[in-house]
Amino acid sequence: MIGLFDSGHGGLTIFRTLVARFPDLNFVYLGDHANAPYGNRGSQEIVELTRGGVEQLYARGCKLVMLACNTASAVACRTLQQDWLPSSDYPGRNVLGVVAPMVEAATQTPWAVTSPQYPQKFNSDTIAVFGTTRTISSGVYSEEIRKRCPKVTVLEHACPDLAGAIEVGAGENDLDAMVAKYVGQLLKRSGGIAPERAILGCTHFPLVEELFVTHLPPSTRILSQPDVVADSLEDYLARHSSYAAGTAYEGNPVLLTTGNPDHVSLSLKLFWPQGQGFERVD
Ligand code: DGL
């Protein structure tokens, strides 16, 4: 069984893509709605909350957990993989994030290759990255992209209130105004140069992708995080088939929340219309 973890509903944009792409696999989803949003929290707090979520999913029988949250991936993934897991009571388990696949896709370079390959790819490209305050302040996208493609310009831009507004089901006009504001700010920083590519580095943002398409220049291509992550998981499972073991459940995958299930189930349809509702975990 494969677990997906997010601070709230956003990771469902990854979850629904994986469920459709891998119908023979079991997935379970945990949203830490009681503590959402993560985007403006401190690093230590995000690491602790994420570790707690991963442990909940391991306790449910998941051998592999994906952090379907850019904030948790940017801030906690490496610490959990390198410092916590090797000395924890969870042998044979792993945790993956959603930043690495996006960096691989943006640079066309495997994650394991951490220096520039010659001839240099995308020499003069500009890549825009939109994310939560914490993801952007971590600098992870810029650092990891420029390690592999040092000549690329990475413009990272924080959208502090966008994930929260999507989470609470804000209206189209309000969301449009927010996206217009953030894209406008980024284009001002770029001196009017249209970025070749844009990463929506928050799992809530695919729900407003059309608004980003409207406000970004027509030549800017958005890298779809759910599709990129699904491709990357397919490749990972081909190399680590034990994580894919087990047959699919009958019926819908389980959705868990640390929040109030009645309350969080209300906006589920917006993210995953097939969802039946959340169950509570502590
Ligand atoms: N969905 C999360 C992400 O991808 C962020 C939402 C939050 O601020 O909790 O970054």
Q: Which atom of ligand 1 is nearest to the CA of 38?
A: 9
280, β-bridge pairs: 257
189-206 tens-digit pLDDT: 999 899 999 999 999 999
List active site positions.
Answer: 69, 202
21-49 tens-digit pLDDT: 999 999 999 999 999 999 889 999 999 99
Domain 101-224 has CATH 1.10.3720.10: no
Nearest to 232 by CA among 129, 105, 146, 52: 105
Q: Which atom of ligand 1 is nearest to the CA of 98?
A: 4
| Mean pLDDT, residues 140-148 taken together | 96
Q: Which atom of ligand 1 is nearest to the CA of 40?
A: 8
pLDDT at 217 over 70: yes
Q: What is the pTM (predicted TM-score) of this model? A: 0.95
Beta carbon of 26 within 6 Å of any ligand 1 atom: no
Q: Provide the residue ranges of all domains of the chain, joining segments of one domain with +.
A: 2-97+227-280, 101-224
Q: Which atom of ligand 1 is nearest to the CA of 68?
A: 4
Query: What separation in Å is there between the alpha carbon of 162 and the centre of ligand 1?
Result: 9
Exposed e or buried b per residue across 224-239, where buried means at least 16 C-beta atoms within 10 angstroms of its C-beta: bbbebbbebbeebbee
DSSP H helices, the chain, are 12-21, 43-59, 70-79, 99-107, 133-138, 140-148, 162-167, 172-189, 209-215, 225-239, 261-265, 268-271
Angle value at C-alpha 204, between 8 and 252, nearest 5 degrees: 60
What pLDDT score does 247 carry? 60
Mean pLDDT of the chain: 94
- Which CATH number fits the domain 2-97+227-280, given the four candidates 3.20.20.140, 3.10.50.40, 1.20.1250.20, 3.40.50.1860? 3.40.50.1860
Q: In what order do the strands lie in the sheet with 221-223?
A: 153-158, 126-131, 197-201, 221-223
Tell me whether the CATH fold assigned to 2-97+227-280 matches the one assigned to 101-224.
yes
Q: Chain-centre distance of CA 267, in angstroms?
A: 19
Q: Kindly indicate the confidence band of residue 248, based on its pLDDT and cuts at 50, 70 and 90.
A: low
Taking CA atoms only, the protein residue closest to ligand 1 atom 8 is 39
Q: What are the CA-CA distances from residue 8 to residues 56, 163, 235 (Å)? A: 15, 10, 27
Query: What separation in Å is there between the alpha carbon of 69 and the centre of ligand 1?
Result: 5
Query: What separation in Å is there between the alpha carbon of 266 and the centre of ligand 1?
Result: 19
Candidates 6, 30, 73, 161: which one to mutate for ligand 1, based on the most atoms within 8 Å of Cβ? 6
Beta carbon of 69 within 6 Å of any ligand 1 atom: yes
